[in-house]
A and B are shown apart, each in its own frame.
Chain A
Amino acid sequence: MMKSDIKLINSEGKRLDGRGPEDLRKIKIESGVLHRADGSCYLEWGGNKIYAAVYGPREAVPRHCQNPLRAIVQARYNMAAFSVEDRKRPGPDRRSVEISKVISEALERVILTEQFPRATVDVNIEVLAAEAGTRCAGLTAAGVALVDAGIPMRDIPVACAAGKIEDQIVLDLGKLEDNLGQADLPIAISPRTGEVLLLQMDGHLTHDEFNKAFDLAVRGCHIVSDVQKQAIMHKYQSVVAAEVQE
C-alpha cells in the first residue's frame, strides 16, 4: 500500500468517481453473446469488460482427471495482454492460476455435479479490460453463462467486494481505491441461501469492520444478482417477442 496525498473520499463524502460509500459502479450484463459456446455472457462492471463462456458438460480429458461420481468444474481466468496499463505477457501466471482455482471451487458448490459423472464443465473467463474487481466480475459473468448453457445449479452464484478506504467501509472498490486503500474483501455468495462460496481478504480490518464490510458486500451481491437475473430474462423475453411477431 502506497502512501499518497490523493483524497479517496472528499469532504462531501463522495468518492473519486462521484459514488457514495455504498454505491456500486455501473454494471451491464448481456447473456448469450457468443455463437460457438454452449452458454456465454458479456459483462461490463465499471471499467472492467469481461466475457465468460461455458462448454459442457462434456467428457473430461485426460481420463485420469475424471471423477467417476460427479463432474469436475474447470474455470480458467485469463487476462488479455492489452487489458492493463503495462502489457501483460499472454498465458497463465501465478495470479490467474489462483483466481481460476478459487472460482472453480466456488462454482463447483452450486453446480449439480452429481448429475454428470466423468464429465467436465469448462468455464472460460476472458478479461479484455481490467479495472479492479475482475475476479468478482468474472465470477458474476460465469454465473450467467452457466445459466445460459443450461447447467443445472442450486443457485446463480454472484460476487461483489467491499473494502476500506480513508478509514471508511465502502462497497466495490475502484482502481485507485484498490491500489491506495486499506483493505479489500471480495466475496461470492449463493443469494438464495446466503452461503459464502468465495472469500478473500487483504489489508487490515478490525473485527467490527470486517462484519460491516461483509454485510455490505452481501448487500452488493444481492443488487448484482438482480442485474444477472434481468440479463437472463431479457434474452428469453426477446425470443418470446420474436415468436409473437412471426
Chain B
Amino acid sequence: MTITPAIKKDYITKLAEQGKRVDGRTFDQYRPIEIETGIVKQAEGSARVKIGNTQLVVGIKMGVGEPFPDTPDCGVLSTAAEFVPLASPDFESGPPREDAIELARVVDRGVRESEVVDIKKLVMTQGEKVWLVFIDIHILDYDGNLFDAASLGALAALMTTKIPILRLLGPGGLEKSDLEAWFNTTKIQDIYDLYSMPGFDEYVAGNNKELFKDVKPIALPMTEPPISCTAIKINDYVMFDASLDEETIADVRLTVATDHKGDLRAMQKGLSGSFSKEEIQKVINGALVNGQEIRKQLYAKIGK
C-alpha cells in the first residue's frame, strides 16, 4: 500500500521538474474544497470538509466541569483525532498512533494559541465551574493533507456551535446560579436575553421547552480564525495541499496558520527533511494567498 508512491516517485519528480503535478494542478494550487456544516444534529456543532478526495467530519460536544488547576480562569478545550480504519487501508484500530496525536495537537494549537475560542469567556465560577469544549476529528477518507482539512473542519464546526444550555440545565449539572455567574463575568448579551426570559425562575430541567422556543441559541465566543495551509517539499519543489502520493514521498512538510491581517499564528514543521530560509518564505507567502481564499470560502459557508 505504501509501495505504490515509491514507484510513482520518479513520475512525480519528473513532472515536478517541468513545473507540473500528477492531477494537473500548479504547485500553489489547492484541490477543490467543500465545507458543509450542521451535519450531525446530536453534536453541538459539526462540519464535513472535503479537500479533493480527503474527507473528514469534525464534531463539537460541550459540557460543564472543573477547570484545570493551572488555568482556573479558562474554560477547557480538548482536541482528539481518530484515524479510523475506515479511512485508509493503512489505518489500524487501537489507541491513537503518534500521527493522530500530532494532528490533534496541531489543530488544538491552531485553535488555542490563536485564541479563536475565547476560553476566558467560558468561565462560570473561577476555579470551580467552566464550560468544557471537546473537538473530535473523525477521518473518513484519507487522500493527503489532513492538517488543513482538520483545522478547517474544526473552525467551521466551532463557528456553528450552539451552547447546549437547555440540555445541560438541571440539578447537579448546570445550575441557574452558574448561568448568572457566567453572565456577570462575561457580559454576553445573549445570555442576558435567556436569563431575562419570563418564567426562567420556574424553569425545571426536562420540561418547559416551549418557554425557550424563541431564545436565540448562544454561540461560542470566538474571534477571527487563522487558516492553516500546509506545503510539502519533494526534492527542491515546494507544493501546497499534497495528495496522498505526494505526501508519502515528501521529504519535509510545513504548516503555517495565518490570520485575517496577514500575521502568522501557528507553525509546525514535520518529517525528517529540512527547509532553507528562502523556502520557508515561499511557504509563508503561499499560505497567505491560499489562506485568504479559504477564509472567504469558510465565511461564505457559515454566513459571516
Interface string of B152-174 (1 = CB under 8 A from A): 00000000000000010000000
Contact-size category for B: 20 to 34
Contact B88 A36 (CB under 8 A): yes
Q: A34-B86, A35-B143, A51-B86 are in contact. Are A81 and B40 (CB under 8 A)?
A: no
B247 within 8 A of A: no
CB distance from A32 to the nearest CB of B (A): 12
Q: Which residues of A contact B61 (CB under 8 A)?
A: 81-82, 86-87
Stretch at the interface among A120-128, A160-168, A187-195: A120-128
Bound together, the chains give a CA A241 to CA B136 distance in angstroms of: 39
B60 within 8 A of A: yes
Within 8 Å by CB of A36, from B40, B63, B87, B167, lies: B87
A229 to chain B, nearest CB (A): 23
Q: B142 to A36, Cβ gap below 8 A?
A: yes
| Across-interface contacts of B60 in A (CB, < 8 A) | 82
Which chain B residues in 37-81 approach chain A with CB under 8 Å?
39-44, 46, 53, 55, 57, 59-61, 63, 80
In the complex, whether A80 has a CB less than 8 A from a CB of chain B is yes
The tally of residues in A whose CB lies under 8 Å from a CB in B reads: 32
Question: What 1/0 mask marks residues of chain A from 112 to 155 whose CB sits below 8 Å from any chain B CB?
Answer: 00000000001011101111000000000000000000000000
Determine if B89 and A58 form an interchain contact, defined as CB atoms under 8 angstroms apart: yes
Q: Roughly how many angstroms separate A92 CA and B82 CA in the complex, as a whole number?
A: 12
- A51 CB to nearest B CB, Å: 6
B95 at the interface (CB under 8 A from A): yes
Contact A37 B86 (CB under 8 A): yes
B-contact 0/1 string along A74-114, CB 8 Å cutoff? 00101011111111001110000000000000000000000
Residue of A37, A80, A86, A131 with most partner-chain B CB within 10 A: A80
Shortest CB–CB separation between residue B202 and chain A, in angstroms? 19
Which A residues fall within an 8 A CB radius of B? 34-37, 47, 49, 51-53, 55, 58, 76, 78, 80-87, 90-92, 122, 124-126, 128-131
Chain B positions near chain A (C-beta within 8 angstroms): 39-44, 46, 53, 55, 57, 59-61, 63, 80, 82, 84-89, 93, 95, 134, 136, 138, 140-143, 167
